[in-house]
Structures are given as structure tokens and as C-alpha cells.
């Protein structure tokens, strides 16, 4: 599933806001992030950042044979769709928070010293 990141958000900040942590894999050519579903490493949601797109899938288990990176991953389905919707909601929330912060900064700039002091 591919999810666009709004233009006014930093992609790394956005994915981290959604609860994803960086996956350190020296074999990977792209930065990837994951969010675990339990206490173990698998199953987990796995997301690649490709510019301003989040490419999301669900890893059910680790690669089962030596030398291959193929795994039991789901790229669609109800679980992935629900997580995609959750990410979209979180991104909208982050955009709204940023707009509120910008508005507060602009209104604070317009007031003088006494106006900010006695607010």
C-alpha cells in the first residue's frame, strides 16, 4: 500500500510520528521503518520511504531460506488497509498540529512585549 506524505511534512518526522522506528539493515538500499505488533520482531508493519511516499506492507515472518530476502509479506488485505488508514489519520493530525503551531507563532510575533507578557 502506498501512502502519500503531505508536502509540508518532513517524511522521516512523519513516519516516526506514526510510531515507526528505523530499521538498520546494511543490505537494504532504501531507508525502512517498522512498527511491531507484539513483543517479538515478527509480525511487524514494514514501511519504505520513497521520496514523499510510504510503501507499507506486513511482514509475517523472517526470510525462511538462506541467501534470499523473500519473506511472507502482505501488501494488501484488511490488516494493511487498517494500518494505512491509521497512518493517514496520524498524518492529518500532524498537519493540523503544525498549522496550529504556525498560527500561534504568527500571533505571538504580532504582539508587543506587554501584549505577550499580559496574554
Q: Which residues of the chain have pLDDT under 50?
A: none
SS3 26: coil
CA dist 74 and 14 (Å) reads 23
DSSP 46-115: EEEEETTEEEEEEE-S---STT-----EESSSHHHHHHHHHHHHHHHHHHHHHHHHHHHHHHHHHS-HHH
pLDDT in tens, 43-67: 999 999 999 999 999 998 876 655 5
pLDDT of residue 72: 65
Instruction: Read off the pTM.
Output: 0.80
Amino acid at each position: 500500500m502506498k501512502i502519500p506524505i503531505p508536502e509540508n511534512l518532513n517524511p522521516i518526522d512523519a513516519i516516526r510520528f506514526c510510531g515507526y522506528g528505523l530499521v538498520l539493515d546494511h543490505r537494504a538500499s532504501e531507508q525502512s521503518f517498522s512498527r511491531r505488533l507484539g513483543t517479538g520482531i515478527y509480525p511487524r508493519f514494514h514501511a519504505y520511504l520513497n521520496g514523499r511516499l510510504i510503501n507499507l506492507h506486513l511482514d509475517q515472518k523472517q526470510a525462511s531460506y538462506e541467501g534470499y530476502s523473500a519473506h511472507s509479506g502482505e501488501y494488501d488485505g484488511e490488516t494493511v488497509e487498517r494500518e494505512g488508514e491509521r497512518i493517514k489519520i496520524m498524518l492529518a493530525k500532524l498537519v493540523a498540529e503544525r498549522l496550529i503551531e504556525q498560527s500561534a507563532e504568527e500571533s505571538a510575533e504580532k504582539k508587543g512585549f506587554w501584549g505577550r507578557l499580559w496574554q
